[in-house]
Every structure is written in structure tokens, then in C-alpha cells.
């Protein structure tokens, strides 16, 4: 369990408690999915939601929609509870001058050991589902502008999850803006100490003349930051736009129904925002696929997914 959590920690800053929202913003005219952590906005790829052992509960007879009574699940509740993350969603950063109508929030895929359910408790205690992966995906949920809401986030098994979300908004200029991001969630794992701020440098004696002051290790110690921006398939050609914070070896595969439908030869990609033209080893069938992208630097890897629709 310890080594498993260490791998999950590579996904970024561990969010273990307090208020967070998954939300759309318009940045330089582009729709972006971000996580509001307190008063700070963070990239989705830069954080991991942590669901600790304290969130573990037994399914009561009155909540059979979460599983058989007596089974174990992990729940982050709709109402704030000390010591647990309090995740919600909002559209407060968008205005009617920018967006025409509601925002669509869609859960495209869940990679992990169990099912994921997000629901709100109604006035009479009945569940009002936002997402329910056990019934099949994608699930879409409509959010009016100016909304700030919370729900119950339930995971049926402990382990590492990757939740692929898409936000869709129709802009006032008549175009439709979308953004797909993958959120990392670590469930039921004893957390390591959270990262702390780097201490201020302290003074040290001036080295003697001729002393070698080169650091013993100058390479990055964390996985490369990776964002999947867009993907398009035509025949056996995949055009993929990604952003990297450093040079990395990038491997790409398409998946459908949890099976690999096509692969591209890995290549080394420089830092920055890049559009890759990749030749797939086979022509994927028409329909919806997930593009799984893995960037590796110095043995440290980060994986992101983005949805793509293949047409005949």
C-alpha cells in the first residue's frame, strides 16, 4: 500500500482536506478546466484528490444504490466534514456575456479498481445522480451559470483512479468550447506527509578556491507535468496537441472498451506546447476512443487521457 500511494503521489499536490471545486474558466478566450483549492486555482493535472481511510463506511440498507448492504465504500460527503476533502463544482467564473446557456459537465471514463458515483441528497433523502459509472459512461450533467454546489463522491474500492472529465460551453460568438482533463484520485490509502513549502536558503561558508560546487544531482525528481489539449484522428494519423514542462519520452495508445485499439511509436518531445503528428499501427474503428498519453523523464512518468471520436 505504501509503494502504491507513492506512485499516486507523483500526480501532483495531494489535496487531503478543505474546500475544492472542479470548475470551468475562460483563459485567453479558451475554456479551461481547473480546480479551485481554497482561493487558489490549480491545473487539474497538478493535483491528486485524496480519499483517506477516515472516509471508509459500510453501505446501509437505505442506500442500496451504492452497493449491497454491509459492503464497504469510501465517501466524501456533500456536507463539509473535518479532516476530509470537500469537493464540489461551480460555474461562477463564467458570465452570461461570455457563455450562452448552461455548461455541460461530462464524465467520459473511469480507470481504477471500482465504480464511482457522484450524487446529491434530495429534500426527502432520495439520491439525485450526477455521475454513476456502474451504469455505463459517458454521463453528462447540465450546470447553470452562477452555480456553486457540492455532492457525495463515492468510490466502491480502494486504489488509484483516473477520472476523465469534459466541460462543454457554447460561447456567445456561436462557437462551442470544450476541455477534457483527467483527475487523479487516491482512495483508501494512508497518506504520506503533505508536501511543504521549500525552506528559505540559508547562508553557507564560501567554498575554498578550486572546490567543485556542482550539485550531485541536477535532474528533476518528479514526473513531468503533462496536459492533453486536443486530439484528432484521420485514418491512421493522430494529431495530438500536448503541453510539457520539460523534455520527455512520450508514448501514445488509443483505447476502446478498456482494450488497446491502436498505438503510435514513442518519441522524444521537447518542453512547451506541441502538436504531434503520429502514425498509428492500425486504423481504429469508428466510434469514441480514449487517447492515453504517457510522458516519461528520468524514469518518472505521468499519464493523461483525452477523448477522441473516430469517423469513417
Predicted confidence (pLDDT) at residue 133 exceeds the cutoff of 90: yes
* 199 or 118, higher pLDDT: 118
Band of pLDDT at residue 214, cut at 50, 70 and 90: very low
Predicted confidence (pLDDT) at residue 180 exceeds the cutoff of 50: yes
The pLDDT score that the predictor gives to residue 222 is 67
For residue 225, give Cα distances in angstroms to 35, 46, 61.
Answer: 16, 7, 43
Segment among 15-29, 45-59, 112-126 with least mean pLDDT:
112-126
pTM of the model: 0.64
Nearest Cα neighbor of 132 from 103, 112, 153, 111 is 153
Given CA atoms 279, 285, 287, 288 in this order, what sign does their dihedral have? negative
Q: How far apart are CA 129 and CA 281, in angstroms?
A: 39
* Buried-state track 194-231, b at ≥16 Cβ within 10 A, e below 16: eeeeeeeeeeeeeeeeeeeeeeeeeeeeebbbbbbbeb
Q: How far apart are CA 241 and CA 273, in angstroms?
A: 7
The kind and range of the H/E element at 172 are: none
Reading phi first (left if > 0) and then psi (alpha if -120 to 50, else beta), residue 281 is in alpha
Predicted confidence (pLDDT) at residue 72 exceeds the cutoff of 60: yes
Predicted confidence (pLDDT) at residue 273 exceeds the cutoff of 90: no
Contact at 8 Å (CB) between 255 and 289?
A: yes
The pLDDT score that the predictor gives to residue 75 is 97
Band of pLDDT at residue 299, cut at 50, 70 and 90: confident
Question: Domain boundaries in the chain?
Answer: 2-60+71-187, 226-310
Q: How far apart are CA 253 and CA 260, in angstroms?
A: 7
Contact at 8 Å (CB) between 163 and 107?
A: yes
Given CA atoms 42, 258, 52, 293 in this order, what sign does their dihedral have? negative
CATH level 3 topology of 226-310: Immunoglobulin-like (2.60.40)
Reading phi first (left if > 0) and then psi (alpha if -120 to 50, else beta), residue 298 is in left
* Structure letter (DSSP) for residue 203: -
Band of pLDDT at residue 298, cut at 50, 70 and 90: confident
Q: What is the mean pLDDT of the chain?
A: 85
Band of pLDDT at residue 190, cut at 50, 70 and 90: low
The pLDDT score that the predictor gives to residue 227 is 82
Q: How far apart are CA 291 and CA 305, in angstroms?
A: 5
What would the pLDDT profile of 16-45 be if each residue is shown by its tens digit? 999 999 999 998 888 999 999 988 999 998
Predicted confidence (pLDDT) at residue 194 exceeds the cutoff of 90: no
Contact at 8 Å (CB) between 241 and 267?
A: no
The pLDDT score that the predictor gives to residue 128 is 94
Torsion angles phi and psi, residue 309, rounded to 5:
-110, 125
The pLDDT score that the predictor gives to residue 208 is 45
Amino acid at each position: 500500500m505504501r509503494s502504491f500511494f507513492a506512485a499516486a503521489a507523483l500526480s501532483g499536490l495531494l489535496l487531503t482536506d478543505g474546500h475544492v471545486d472542479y470548475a470551468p474558466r475562460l483563459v485567453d478566450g479558451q475554456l479551461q478546466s481547473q480546480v479551485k483549492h481554497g482561493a487558489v486555482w490549480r491545473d487539474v493535472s497538478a493535483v491528486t484528490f485524496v480519499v483517506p481511510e477516515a472516509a471508509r463506511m459500510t453501505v446501509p440498507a437505505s442506500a442500496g444504490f451504492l452497493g449491497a448492504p454491509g459492503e464497504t465504500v469510501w465517501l466524501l460527503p456533500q456536507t463539509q466534514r473535518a479532516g476530509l476533502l470537500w469537493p464540489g463544482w461551480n460555474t461562477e467564473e463564467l458570465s452570461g456575456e461570455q457563455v450562452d446557456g448552461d455548461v455541460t459537465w461530462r464524465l467520459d471514463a473511469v480507470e481504477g479498481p471500482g465504480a464511482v458515483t457522484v450524487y446529491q441528497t434530495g429534500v426527502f433523502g432520495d439520491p439525485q445522480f450526477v455521475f454513476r459509472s456502474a451504469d455505463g459512461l459517458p454521463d453528462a450533467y447540465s450546470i447553470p451559470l452562477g452555480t456553486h454546489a457540492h455532492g457525495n463522491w463515492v468510490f466502491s474500492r480502494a486504489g488509484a483512479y483516473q477520472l476523465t472529465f469534459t466541460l462543454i460551453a457554447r460561447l456567445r460568438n456561436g462557437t462551442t468550447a470544450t476541455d477534457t482533463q483527467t483527475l487523479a484520485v487516491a482512495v483508501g490509502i494512508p497518506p504520506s506527509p503533505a508536501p511543504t513549502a521549500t525552506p528559505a536558503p540559508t547562508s553557507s561558508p564560501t567554498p575554498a578556491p578550486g572546490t567543485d560546487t556542482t550539485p550531485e544531482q541536477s535532474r528533476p525528481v518528479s514526473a513531468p507535468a503533462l496536459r492533453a489539449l486536443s486530439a484528432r484522428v484521420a485514418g491512421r494519423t493522430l494529431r495530438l496537441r500536448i503541453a510539457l514542462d520539460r523534455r520527455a519520452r512520450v508514448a501514445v495508445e488509443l483505447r476502446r472498451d478498456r482494450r488497446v485499439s491502436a498505438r503510435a511509436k514513442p518519441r522524444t518531445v521537447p518542453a512547451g506546447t506541441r502538436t504531434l503528428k503520429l502514425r498509428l499501427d492500425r486504423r481504429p474503428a469508428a466510434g469514441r476512443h480514449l487517447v492515453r498519453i504517457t510522458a516519461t523523464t528520468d524514469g518518472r512518468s505521468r499519464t493523461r487521457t483525452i477523448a477522441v471520436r473516430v469517423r469513417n
